[in-house]
Structure 1
Amino acid sequence: MKRVLFVCTGNTCRSSMAEGLFNYIVENDKDGTKDFKAFSAGLSAFENDCANPKAQKVLKEQYNVDISSHKARRITKSDVESAYIILTMTEEHKNAVLRMFPGAADKTYTIKEYAYEDDVSSNSMNHQRRYGHNMNIGDPYGFPEEVYKECAKEIKDALDRIIMKLK
């Protein structure tokens, strides 16, 4: 089983949504991704916090994905070592992971960096100008449900590309 690790700050919004969406997609995919499984962690997570209620609601209503049983946890050395690939929500998260686990440099990317790397010229500023967005997934925490919907869509769009690459 190839493990995909999603990382954000608290592991209650972005990375938990990415984990839920990724696992739902691969579980329902008929060709080529059955050997992948996602898990998630946070850099500053409060252990065992539930997924944010807005994140739960948006995934259930928009994508029929249930993350109600998710429990937040902090990233560990074991997580990093067992991961086939590590996908962070922002450059800041990526840099933090690499400071903590420098040996993971060859398998750590932002989610958008990995999803769109074939489209990006040499730097993310060109990508931002070309595609009208940056390489980070913004934190919806504390914002209205609409922001969670936009965040989930950004994650889903990136995951669709990533899953095609993993096949």
Structure 2
Amino acid sequence: MKRILFVCTGNTCRSPMAEALFRAKAADGQWEVRSAGVAAFDGQPASPQVLQVLAERGIEHDHQARRLNDEMVAWADLILTMTQGHKAMIQGMFPGAAEKVFTLREFVGVEGMSDIADPFGGTVEDYRRCAEEIEESLDRLFDKFTG
């Protein structure tokens, strides 16, 4: 079983969306998926816009934010971040894990802009666009793993 950890800043927008969207795609039981934030406040719910966008896709996600820690880093086979900044921060905080940390877009081979913009504070449409960006990368990720 492969263990994937998605990471963003507060673990209330992008990484919970990535976690829920990937889990919905990979319902075959071959994957364990979690999410965390480099500056998360433990226990915060996902933003209402995230829950709305996921519900529009038929996905329920009961989420509580978690701050990235040693245990999560050790658990993960692969850590996929939403930005280069998150990647650099994790590699600085957990140098022993540097070889398993990538931005999501970098890992799946998206050329150019490697960051997925934070929709925090934006409209539901901003969250929909973010979900589409994440989903496009997750489709590539799933293809990469399943051949």
Normalising to structure 1: TM-score of the pair? 0.85
Separation (CA, whole Å) in 2 of partners of 1:46 and 1:80: 17
* Offset, 1:136: 0.3
* Offset, 1:157: 0.4
Unaligned ranges ≥5, structure 1: 118-126, 129-133
Give yes or no for the alignment of 1:43 onto 2:38.
yes
Separation (CA, whole Å) in 2 of partners of 1:164 and 1:114: 12
Q: 2:126 aligns with which of 139, 144, 147?
A: 147
Give CA deviations for 1:95-148 in whole Å, capped at 9, x if unaligned.
Answer: 00000101111111000001116xxxxxxxxx32xxxxx110000000011100
Q: Secondary structure at the match of 1:112?
A: helix
Show structure 1 runs of 4+ deviating over 4 A.
none
Normalising to structure 2: TM-score of the pair? 0.96
Please tell me the residue identity of whatever aligns with 1:155.
I
Q: What is the 5 A alignment of 1:1-167?
A: 1-27=1-27, 34-61=29-56, 63-67=57-61, 69-116=62-109, 127-128=111-112, 134-167=113-146
Separation (CA, whole Å) in 2 of partners of 1:36 and 1:165: 14
Separation (CA, whole Å) in 1 of partners of 2:119 and 2:87: 18
* Offset, 1:71: 0.3
Number of aligned residues? 146
Separation (CA, whole Å) in 2 of partners of 1:4 and 1:65: 19
Q: Secondary structure at the match of 2:10?
A: coil
Please tell me the residue identity of whatever aligns with 2:139.
D
* Offset, 1:89: 0.2
- Name the larger-Rg structure: 1
Please tell me the residue identity of whatever aligns with 1:84.
D
Please tell me the residue identity of whatever aligns with 1:149.
R
CA RMSD of aligned residues (A): 1.0
Unaligned ranges ≥5, structure 2: none
* Offset, 1:166: 1.4
Separation (CA, whole Å) in 1 of partners of 2:47 and 2:40: 12
Separation (CA, whole Å) in 2 of partners of 1:59 and 1:35: 22
